[in-house]
């Protein structure tokens, strides 16, 4: 009874704090100085039609590097947790349904194509490396659920992940050496505004981020599936 009363008081206090925050909130109808600079100078400096996601790659490139690093550490920690030997090597008891098998054959290639499209066009349309990588990972998840005999090795995904991460950092360093700062996209020509080949190095950076995120998320799913079957691949 005392515990329930205490929880009710805590929840009531949190509710009151949140109510005060919402009550005193006032929206802003003008940019702060940093946002003003992004909005006015960004299109000329970055050369990308999708300024929001391009800011994440260029002006806030170190933040993106930190986010990718967190995702890598998450995948590595899960790999350590799931790394154990299992005596069970039997296949799934239930086979794949005809509906799931047919849907997988149709949707997996489409998801892969859409994922690549999202991060290649991230500087032109809403999307980017993280979104495209998540779509790629969803294709691998569907493939793992649909095709029980799929043979995607962890090593392949690890190589893609490592190559993408190392190249991402190298491009960032080239920005310091050849341009104005870490991940400065002007290490390549900006090209024609609004075209696919434009915004300097942003399409390449987004592609690397998309491949890295997709490989890491897919590796997590495959490690979980492998731990259930006791194998090194699914």
182 versus 97: the higher-pLDDT residue is 182
Banded pLDDT at 92 (limits 50, 70, 90): very low
Mean pLDDT of 188-217: 91
pLDDT in tens, 19-60: 998 888 887 778 888 888 988 888 888 999 888 888 888 888
| pLDDT for position 233 | 46
Quote the percentage of the chain above a pLDDT of 70: 86
Q: What is the mean pLDDT of the chain?
A: 83
Task: Indicate if the pLDDT at residue 88 is higher than 50.
Answer: no
The 3-state secondary structure of the chain reads: CHHHHHHHHHHHHHHHHHHHHHHHCCCCCCCCHHHHHHHHHHHHHHCCCCHHHHHHHCCCHHHHHHHHHHHHHHHHHHHHHHCCCCCCCCCCCCCCCHHHHHHHHHHHHHHHHHHHHHHHCCCCCCCCHHHHHHHHHHHHHHHHHHCCCCCCEHHHHHHHHHHHHHHHHHHHHHHHHHCCCCCCHHHCCCECCCCCCECCCHHHHHHHHHHHHHHHHHHHHHHHHHHHHCCCEC
Banded pLDDT at 1 (limits 50, 70, 90): confident
| pLDDT for position 94 | 47
Task: Indicate if the pLDDT at residue 13 is higher than 90.
Answer: yes
């Amino acid at each position: 009874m005392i515990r329930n009363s205490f929880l009710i008081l805590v929840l009531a206090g949190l509710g009151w704090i949140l109510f005060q925050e919402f009550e005193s909130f006032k929206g802003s109808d003008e940019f702060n100085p940093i946002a003003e600079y992004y909005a006015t100078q960004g299109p000329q400096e970055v050369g990308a039609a999708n300024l929001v996601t391009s800011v994440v790659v260029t002006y806030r490139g170190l933040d993106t590097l930190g986010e990718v690093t967190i995702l890598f550490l998450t995948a590595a920690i899960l790999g350590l947790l799931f790394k154990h030997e299992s005596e069970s090597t039997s296949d799934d008891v239930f086979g794949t349904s005809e509906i799931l098998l047919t849907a997988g054959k149709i949707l997996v290639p489409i998801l892969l194509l859409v994922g690549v499209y999202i991060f290649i066009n991230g500087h032109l349309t809403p999307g980017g490396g993280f979104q495209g990588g998540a779509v790629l990972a969803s294709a691998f998840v569907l493939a793992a659920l649909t095709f029980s005999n799929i043979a995607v090795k962890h090593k392949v995904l690890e190589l893609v992940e490592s190559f993408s991460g190392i190249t991402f950092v190298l491009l960032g360093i080239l920005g310091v050496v050849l341009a104005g700062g870490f991940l400065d996209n002007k290490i390549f020509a900006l090209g024609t505004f609004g075209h696919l080949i434009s915004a300097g190095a942003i399409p390449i950076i987004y592609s690397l981020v998309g491949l890295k995120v997709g490989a890491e998320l897919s590796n997590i799913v495959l490690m979980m599936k492998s731990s259930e079957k006791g194998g090194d691949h699914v």
